C-alpha cells in the first residue's frame, strides 16, 4: 500500500511527464511564431535579412527534431529529458540572437520561462548557466556574422562585413574599436547576465512557493483519501474511484473482508491479533502494485448510531 512518500513521488513523476509535454507544446508555439515572422519577412512586411531569418528557421527545425523523436519514442519521465529540452531551447535562442541580433534581444528570457514550469531549482539554475554560456558565444558570433546595429540608423539589413567594406573605402573612413572582445564581454554580455540573474532569483522564489504548495496539497489529499489507523484507502477514495475510475475498467476483481467484532477478538486473543492497525498492516503486505485496498468503516445512521 502506498505511503505518503510513495504517493508524493508518484505525483512528482506524473508532474515531470506533464511538464515535458508542456515544454513540447512551447516548442510548437515557438516554431509557429518564428514561422510567422519568416513569412512576414518574405512578403517584405518586416525589414529583416531574408537569408538570416531563413537560416534561423532552418536551424530551429533541425534542433527540434530530437525533441520530437523523444516525445514519440521515449519515456518522458526520465530526468535527463528536461535538461536536454532546456539545453536545446537555449541553443535555439542563441542561434536566433546571433543571426538577428537586436531583433531578438528578449528571447534570452525564454529558457528561464521554460525552466520554471518544472518547479525545480536545479532545472532553473541549469537553464541560467547554460543560457549565459550560449549568450556569451552568440554575442560574439552576432558581432561578426549577424545583423549590424547600424541597420537601425540606416534602415538596412546588412552585416558587419558590408559596413567594413563601405566605411573603410576611399570616400569614408571611420575608426573602429580595436578590442571588440572586451567591449562585448563587459558592455553587452555582463549587463544581460545580471538581468538574467535577477530574473532567476525571483523565479526561484516562485518555484519554492509552488513546491511548498504542491507538498501541502499532496499531504491534504493523502489525509483525505487514507484511513489514519489502517493506512489503507478510506471510504472517500472508494466512492471517488467507484464514480470516476471503475466504470472505465473492463475487468475488475473485488474482495471484501469483514473486520467487525475486532474488540471481541482483541479481548480474546490479544491486541496484536484484533487491532485494526494490525489487520491493515497484514492487508498492505498482500497488496500488489496494481491493487488498491480500502477500509470502508460503517457510516453513522441518521440517529448517530455506528
Q: Which of 16, 5, 18 is nearest to 218 (CA)?
A: 5
pLDDT at 227 (0 to 100): 73
Asked whether the predicted pLDDT for residue 172 surpasses 60, the reply is no
Torsion sign, CA atoms 188, 190, 193, 199: negative
pLDDT at 207 (0 to 100): 81
Instruction: Return the H-helix or E-strand segment holding 299.
Output: none
| CA dihedral angle for residue 106, residue 179, residue 166, residue 168, rounded to 10 degrees | 170
- pLDDT grade, residue 66 (50/70/90)? very high
Could you tell me which residues come within 8 angstroms of residue 8 by beta carbon, excluding any fewer than 6 positions away? 215, 218, 222
277: β partners: none
Rounded distance between C-alpha atoms, residue 59 and residue 210, angstroms: 35
Rounded distance between C-alpha atoms, residue 235 and residue 220, angstroms: 16
Q: At what angle do helices 79-100 and 121-145 cross, to 10 degrees?
A: 20
More confident residue, 143 or 277: 143
CB 22 within 8 A of CB 115: no
The three cell numbers locating residue 51: 537569408
CB 98 within 8 A of CB 141: yes
14: β partners: none
147: β partners: 159
Name the residue with cell 566605411: 167
pLDDT at 170 (0 to 100): 57
Rounded distance between C-alpha atoms, residue 143 and residue 180, angstroms: 9
Give this prediction's pTM: 0.71
Span 69-84, pLDDT tens digits = 999 988 888 889 999 9
More confident residue, 74 or 87: 87
CB 48 within 8 A of CB 54: no
Asked whether the predicted pLDDT for residue 129 surpasses 60, the reply is yes
Name the residue with cell 474488540: 263
pLDDT at 270 (0 to 100): 63
Span 34-60, pLDDT tens digits = 999 999 999 999 888 899 999 999 999
- pLDDT grade, residue 61 (50/70/90)? very high
User: Mean pLDDT of all residues in the chain?
Assistant: 80
pLDDT at 96 (0 to 100): 94
Using the CB atoms, write b or e for 41-51: b if 16+ within 10 Å.
Answer: beeeeeebbee
Phi, psi of 165 (to 5 degrees): -65, -35
The three cell numbers locating residue 186: 563587459
Q: Which of 10, 126, 29 is nearest to 77 (CA)?
A: 10
Q: What's the average model confidence in pLDDT over 181-195?
A: 88
Would you list the domain boundaries of the chain? 9-223, 229-306
More confident residue, 186 or 248: 186
pLDDT at 39 (0 to 100): 96
Span 220-236, pLDDT tens digits = 777 777 776 676 777 77
Amino acid at each position: 500500500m502506498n505511503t505518503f512518500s510513495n504517493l508524493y513521488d508518484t505525483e512528482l513523476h506524473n508532474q515531470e511527464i506533464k511538464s515535458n509535454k508542456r515544454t513540447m507544446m512551447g516548442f510548437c508555439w515557438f516554431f509557429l511564431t518564428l514561422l510567422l515572422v519568416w513569412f512576414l519577412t518574405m512578403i517584405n512586411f518586416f525589414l529583416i535579412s531574408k537569408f538570416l531569418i531563413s537560416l534561423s528557421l532552418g536551424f530551429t527545425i533541425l534542433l527540434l527534431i530530437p525533441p520530437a523523436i523523444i516525445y514519440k519514442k521515449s519515456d518522458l519521465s526520465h530526468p535527463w529529458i528536461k535538461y536536454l529540452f532546456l539545453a536545446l531551447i537555449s541553443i535555439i535562442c542563441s542561434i536566433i540572437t546571433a543571426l538577428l541580433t537586436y531583433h531578438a534581444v528578449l528571447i534570452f528570457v525564454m529558457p528561464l520561462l521554460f525552466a520554471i514550469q518544472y518547479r525545480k531549482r536545479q532545472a532553473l539554475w541549469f537553464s541560467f548557466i547554460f543560457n549565459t554560456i550560449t549568450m556569451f558565444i552568440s554575442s560574439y558570433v552576432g558581432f561578426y556574422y549577424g545583423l549590424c546595429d547600424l541597420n537601425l540608423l540606416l534602415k538596412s539589413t546588412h552585416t558587419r562585413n558590408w559596413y567594413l567594406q563601405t566605411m573603410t573605402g576611399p570616400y569614408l573612413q571611420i575608426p573602429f574599436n580595436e578590442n571588440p572582445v572586451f567591449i562585448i564581454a563587459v558592455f553587452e554580455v555582463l549587463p544581460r547576465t545580471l538581468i538574467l540573474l535577477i530574473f532567476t532569483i525571483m523565479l526561484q522564489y516562485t518555484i519554492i512557493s509552488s513546491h511548498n504548495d504542491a507538498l501541502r496539497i499532496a499531504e491534504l489529499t493523502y489525509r483525505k483519501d487514507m484511513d489514519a489507523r489502517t493506512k489503507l484507502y478510506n471510504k472517500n477514495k472508494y466512492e471517488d474511484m467507484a464514480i470516476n475510475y471503475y466504470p472505465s475498467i473492463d475487468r475488475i476483481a473485488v474482495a471484501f473482508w469483514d473486520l467487525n467484532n475486532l474488540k471481541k477478538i482483541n479481548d480474546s486473543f490479544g491486541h496484536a491479533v484484533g487491532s485494526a492497525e494490525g489487520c491493515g498492516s497484514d492487508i498492505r503486505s498482500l497488496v500488489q502494485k496494481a491493487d488498491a485496498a480500502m477500509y470502508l468503516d460503517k457510516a453513522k445512521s441518521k440517529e448517530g448510531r455506528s
